[in-house]
Structure 1
């Protein structure tokens, strides 16, 4: 799905709701000139579109469009369309999420409380739609879905959407009885966790090689920047708990042992959803292809992350995360670890692996059991 002009976006013929009341109007571009657009409504909202109607449209028109102010209604209708692959639906939702995030990151637009409020409300709708589509996905299945999606030229967008999806999956696994609203908050926190980067130059964010100490210190200001944006621009978005979002934005780089930033919080002092986001952030950073480094296999990623449990990552949540990776066999191909100051925000041409100090065994042998990271004796939270 792509935006057309300033007010309309194109929609696939296969993703139009049939035999039910459609909550949006359908338009075509009647202009013969590629430089001019003249959109005409051909089907009104609240009518029922039949398959025969759609076949006729396919014969008569090259492309259908929906007005931008009805994008949310269109997204909400996707879950009702049967016979369409989750990948296709997710691609549409991702495209919309990128469109929403792009409004915030657009340096040519004046940042206002109204813009922030509107964008967060729109992002919430995208996350709600995502929750419906991936409701039965564990981490393994979700990773396959993410790998099948297209990539945007701004890594921060793709990464934020991926983190959102992993947060949805992990939080649902950690809180099996969570309501949809609670799961949506987990996904929204993941989607907005890097919102503070709108104040940081894209030259630094997208730099393909290791950042200088000065540049990395600038990157490390993004949790505080994000918190300030939300605190100084109080929004009125129905169903959004901004105290939670502010804490996820502010605390997702805190480490479980208190060595993180910006406040060196530790353990349960870090909000549960920030701890969830930290795992999702780390996992996506080392398993999703970036332009500047190759990625790890799921097995190697889990093995690398395991070495940071109790330091960076919450042990209970990480155990839940690994259990959500189906048919995982840790056979120790990668006898390496990342330095304790490794940060998912730090670009690297090559991930800075090192051999663990005093490490002699080549990982887990074929008959060895993977390390246990502690039993969950009480409700996580």
Structure 2
């Protein structure tokens, strides 16, 4: 039963890959070109790190590369005058991949502890990548021969959450990978990986997705143009994150607009009350996130929601700083009156200090500091800066 459940999870993780090809990966031409060049030269490496923020296509790109490497009849053509290979989408291997049941594609992620053969491991909270998960689902399987294709592709998501023991556990496999293995680590923070891991992998740095592409994608999903442009800037070019936030039941966009209006008019005496309001809205966002990504656990969802709300405050401070410095490239372009009012109440230096304070507060969230105290502290600083 656990194996069937694992396949079901993989099908969910692979949703959206089957209709794509390498040509459809947005804003990552430098990655695709580098990979295609090595493929056509017959010198594809075995260990990679796909680095970049969430939602810029790292997993989709890893999936499409895996599908190509497993494909029985890759299609060869040209793109921009260079040889280009892509999966055929028709062979048995491609069909199995698109259904989420290819035996030689292994997606390894921290929540796999739920499907462990060891009862004690299944009970643990997947707040980090457990060494037991790495050993059971990656290290122990890496040496086994492919069942269908001539390669086995392993993709390790959130590899920045591998603790030092787990990283050491995969090091030998990265140093001497079996000839049939391709290993892709997906990572948001390469500084959290051991130098020995970095030195043994080809690092591909993924760029933010072009904002116009994100806005167009959101508009195609029925999002108003003004809101679509906001999300493209708020997420710093993360298509996946923009889609997620714009589609939450909590109506994050409405919360953002109301929050900025309150920030413009509130005083120091209102800080505690506004912190309580913000905590309530943060709870709504956490609840909505739980319906789309419940695997994270309540604590993780709560931290995500708090980070989103603090980033909303930070976007207002950053916009006020830019406007005061003469820039019109605003994230909150939809509320120009609010941003203009804030920019008149503090200078660029004061605004930059606020941005730094909020960044520090976001770090404190992950140190399990009381959210009410964090919100109050930021709002008190915000109010004092305006006075």
Q: Fold-level match, TM-score > 0.5?
A: no
Higher relative contact order (CA 8 A, sep 6+): 2
